[in-house]
Copies of this chain bind each other. A is one copy, B any other.
Amino acid sequence: MKNLEKLFPFWSDLDDADKKQLEETMRVEKYGKGELIHRTDTGCKGILGVLSGQIRIYILSEEGREVTLFRIHENEVCVLSASCLLDSIEFDVLIEATEDTEVQVIQTCALNQIIKLNPAIELYLYKTVTENFSDVMWTMQQILFMRIDQRIAQFLWDEMVRKNSKTLQITHDEIAKHIGSAREVVTKVLKYLAKEEVVSLSRGKIEVISKEKLHKYL
């Protein structure tokens, strides 16, 4: 079992009996790239600690349009999947693995009792949700106020920094989902960026050929 104290910041606030109780019901789940982990309108799964990989939290329109709200990386925690513990949350999201991912799940039923006796844990959960709120505000401002070419350039830049690589294994469709746009629009902008020698394109892959030029679009 991974270092639970490192994964779940509230772990050190628990007493030994609580820790034992949670450990007994805890489980590790594995998901392939693109697999749905949970949708909150179907119930309450629990808190997810990302052991490896990455998950994204998104919303879906009735017509099937997706908008990524934010992503959660290795050693970070997803609490929106336990929204029944937090009455102030009144919206639904979907949670998907964007890479092959392993999550440590703390089930709601086990946590429910413990939260009542540990206000520090409840506070941790609400603080984490407020961080998610900040991420969503960032996303919303991007969608509302930034030009589409700027949003795509920002996305490529962030991915390049995160992966520490100028070669990005990602499809136009995946970029469209991340930035809340359509695939056709992304393709058009990427072709433009290729013509300007900012990136080069090949099947399922984008290579940043000039960091300096890309940076001018931010």
Copies in the complex: 2
Report the bound CA distance from A143 to B120 in whole Å.
36
Report the bound CA distance from A132 to B140 in whole Å.
14
Are B91 and A134 interface neighbours, CB within 8 A? yes
Report the bound CA distance from A100 to B42 in whole Å.
43
From 109 to 150 in chain A, residues with beta carbon under 8 angstroms from any chain B beta carbon are 119-120, 122-123, 126-134, 136-138, 140-141, 143-145
CB closest residue in chain B, given A93? B137
Cβ of A130: which chain B residues have Cβ within 8 Å of it? 86, 88-89, 126, 129-130, 133
- Grouping DSSP codes into helix (H, G, I), strand (E, B) and loop, the A interface class, with mixed when no group exceeds half, is helix
From 60 to 77 in chain A, residues with beta carbon under 8 angstroms from any chain B beta carbon are 61-63, 65, 67
Cβ of A136: which chain B residues have Cβ within 8 Å of it? 133, 136-137, 140
CB closest residue in chain B, given A60? B145
* Interface residues, chain A, with chain B CB atoms under 8 Å away: 59, 61-63, 65, 67, 86, 88-91, 119-120, 122-123, 126-134, 136-138, 140-141, 143-145, 180
